[in-house]
């Protein structure tokens, strides 16, 4: 893989990781268009450059993460005299609860998912279905009069976090989007739009971090040998920079607008993919 190709994949990863459009689906297609192989080292590279996107969210939500860390250590030091959990630690527990379903189901089904679901028809179908789900949910929420309102992030219950976690598991199918499922899960758990988006990002720190660590440990040497450090570093840096742009834009956009733009985008992308599959012989 050339540094230029790594930069392209890094940009794709960073721009799509936290938007509800499926980074995995976009990376599969980018890999095909760049005519790259789909071996273990290549797939591990596409997972590990998520580290750049993770760093972007850590930077943007630094104060929130700092508060979680401070509350947790404060409680651990003073738990005998102050047994009540502070807000930051309750949020950390919710993040762990939200991660657990993906950890269990992901380990059990990862080989099956990578072996049978990483293909053009699945990505195209999931893009279209996800787009329809967004549009239908937005319309239903508007009719209910909820708009952007809902609970604050600190009000999310443990059961609500678990629901988000199981919703996240649906996104193991390429083309679905982890961000989409966790945002919808947060909204279904009663969170406001801004709180659902933030919890999706924070949950991604653990989920994506675990996936990155897993693939780096299992395929790290093959990735270094086949791809090389310069390409890995270039992909990670560009993923970091493009993720900063994407996350800041989406947070600002969703403070004033609904998710429906992403629904239309997904349907449009699915339509283009279908044309390529039927008339240009696209297959991977």
Q: What is the pLDDT of residues 166-218, one digit of tens each?
A: 999 999 998 999 999 999 999 999 999 899 999 999 999 999 999 899 888 88
**Average pLDDT of 145-150?**
74
Q: Is residue 30 in a domain? A: yes
Task: Give start and end residues of each alpha helix (H) in 79-119.
Answer: 87-116
Q: Is the pLDDT of residue 147 over 80?
A: no
Predicted pLDDT of residue 255 = 83
Q: Is residue 24 in a domain? A: yes
Picking from 37, 47, 66, 60, the residue whose alpha carbon sits closest to that of residue 243 is: 60
Q: Is residue 100 in a domain? A: yes
Predicted pLDDT of residue 145 = 74
Tell me the pLDDT of the chain averaged across its residues. Answer: 90
Q: Is residue 262 in a domain? A: yes
Q: Is residue 284 in a domain? A: no
The CA angle 225-45-174, to the nearest 5 degrees, is 145
**Domain membership of residue 151 as a residue range:** 3-279
Beta bridge partners of 151: 191
What gap in Å lies between CA 76 and CA 236, rounded to an integer? 34
Burial 22-52 (b: 16+ CB within 10 A, else e): bbbbbbbbbbeeeebeeeebbbbbbbbbbbb
For residue 119, the tally of other CB atoms under 10 A from its CB is 13
Predicted pLDDT of residue 99 = 96
- The answer to whether 57 and 247 are in contact (CB under 8 A) is yes
Predicted pLDDT of residue 35 = 86
Burial label, 147 (beta-carbon count in 10 A; 0-12, 13-18, 19+): exposed
Among residues of the chain, what percentage have pLDDT more than 70? 98
**Average pLDDT of 206-233?**
91
For residue 114, the tally of other CB atoms under 10 A from its CB is 14
Q: Is residue 80 in a domain? A: yes
Among residues of the chain, what percentage have pLDDT more than 90? 65
Tokens linked to 124: 């195209």
Query: DSSP labels for 152-165?
Result: -GGG--HHHHHHHH
Q: Is the pLDDT of residue 273 over 80?
A: yes
Q: Is residue 11 in a domain? A: yes
**pLDDT-derived band at 24, boundaries 50, 70, 90:** confident
Predicted pLDDT of residue 11 = 97
What is the total count of domains within the chain?
A: 1
Q: Is the pLDDT of residue 53 over 80?
A: yes
């Amino acid at each position: 893989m050339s540094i230029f190709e790594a930069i392209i994949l890094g940009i794709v990863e960073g721009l799509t990781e936290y938007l509800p459009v499926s980074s995995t689906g976009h990376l599969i297609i980018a890999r095909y268009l760049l005519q790259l192989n789909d071996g273990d080292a290549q797939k591990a590279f596409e997972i590990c450059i998520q580290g750049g996107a993770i760093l972007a969210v850590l930077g943007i939500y630094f104060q929130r993460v700092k508060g979680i860390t401070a509350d947790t250590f404060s409680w651990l030091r003073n738990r005998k005299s102050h047994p009540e959990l502070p807000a930051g630690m309750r949020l950390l527990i919710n993040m762990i609860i939200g991660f657990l379903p993906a950890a269990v189901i992901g380990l059990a089904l990862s080989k099956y998912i990578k072996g049978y679901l990483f293909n053009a028809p699945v990505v195209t179908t999931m893009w279209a279905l996800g787009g329809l789900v967004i549009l239908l949910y937005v319309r239903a929420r508007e009719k209910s009069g909820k708009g952007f309102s809902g609970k604050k992030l600190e009000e999310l219950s443990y059961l609500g976090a678990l629901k988000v976690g199981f919703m996240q598991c649906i996104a193991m199918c390429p083309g679905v989007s982890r961000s989409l499922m966790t945002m919808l899960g947060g909204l279904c758990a009663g969170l406001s739009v801004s709180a659902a988006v933030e919890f999706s990002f924070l949950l991604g720190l653990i989920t994506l971090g675990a996936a990155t660590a897993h693939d780096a440990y299992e395929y790290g040497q093959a990735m270094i040998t086949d791809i090389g450090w310069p390409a890995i570093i270039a992909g990670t840096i560009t993923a970091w920079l493009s993720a900063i742009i994407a996350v800041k834009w989406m947070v600002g956009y969703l403070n004033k607008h609904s998710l429906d733009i992403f629904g239309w985008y997904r349907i449009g992308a699915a339509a283009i993919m279908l044309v390529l599959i039927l008339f240009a012989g696209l297959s991977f």
